[in-house]
Amino acid sequence: MTNELDEQKIVAQLKDPIEAELGFRSLIGTYKERLYWHIRRIVLIHEDTDDVLQDVFVKVYKNIHSFKEESSLYTWIYRIATNEALSHKKRMQRKWEGMSQSVEEASAQDLKADPYFSGDDAQLALKLAIDSLPEKQMLVFNMKYFQQLKYDEMSSILNTSVGALKASYHHAVKKIEAFIKNEEYG
């Protein structure tokens, strides 16, 4: 989590036409890795992640004046990144469906073909299991298991109660276990 003072400084710079570029560079430097991995775990492919990540930063830059500072910058950016990544994923799914391809198979093929995925069978199975989850469960599982975010942080990013998030995580873990067992023995 970024220091609140750092965040305020970045926002002030971004809103000042003279300092905007400096602020933009700090913004990217501060969030690039966290956002990259957040997006990557949703869209899976490196090239797609790169596109979405750039779009997210450009969107933040262009819309900074509509950021009301009621939530933290971190929360706001994570929300934008989540929405952009999910939109990208849906576009891909529509494209595959339009080509009469199974979404699961197309997603698996793409991941295997990504030169920046070097996972073994178990890692591939885990990614595909997560990918098969309903949207919210997928987000919660990634944010909890890999990013190790706290439930209250997730709650403000996803605008969902902590109780509902805990339930989603629980369901996600059960489904992933079942998915992987099915892959192994099914």
Partner 1 sequence: MDKEHIHNEGFQVPEGYFEQLESSVLGRLDEGMEVPEGYFENIEDRIVSKVKPQRTISISRYLSWSAAAVILLSLGFWTFSSNNQGRDETLMVAMADEDVYLDYLLDNPEELESLDLSPFLDDSMNELDDETMIEFLDESEFDLEDLESLI
Minimum distance, C-beta of residue 88 to partner 1, in the bound complex (Å): 17
How far CA 52 is from CA of 15, 45, 47, 133, in Å, comes to 23, 11, 9, 21
Of the two residues 102 and 123, which places its CB atom closer to partner 1 in the complex? Answer: 123
In whole angstroms, give the CA distance from residue 22 to residue 57. 14
In whole angstroms, give the CA distance from residue 121 to residue 45. 17
Of the two residues 56 and 165, which places its CB atom closer to partner 1 in the complex? Answer: 56
Of the two residues 34 and 136, which places its CB atom closer to partner 1 in the complex? Answer: 34
CB-CB neighbours of 76 under 10 Å: 22
Minimum distance, C-beta of residue 36 to partner 1, in the bound complex (Å): 7
Minimum distance, C-beta of residue 28 to partner 1, in the bound complex (Å): 5
Burial of 107 (0-12, 13-18, 19+ CB in 10 A): buried
Amino acid (1-letter code) at residue 129: A
Interface contacts to partner 1, rule CB under 8 A: 21, 24-25, 28-29, 32-34, 36-37, 40, 46, 50, 53-54, 57-58, 61-62, 116-120, 123-124, 126-127, 146-148
Minimum distance, C-beta of residue 159 to partner 1, in the bound complex (Å): 23
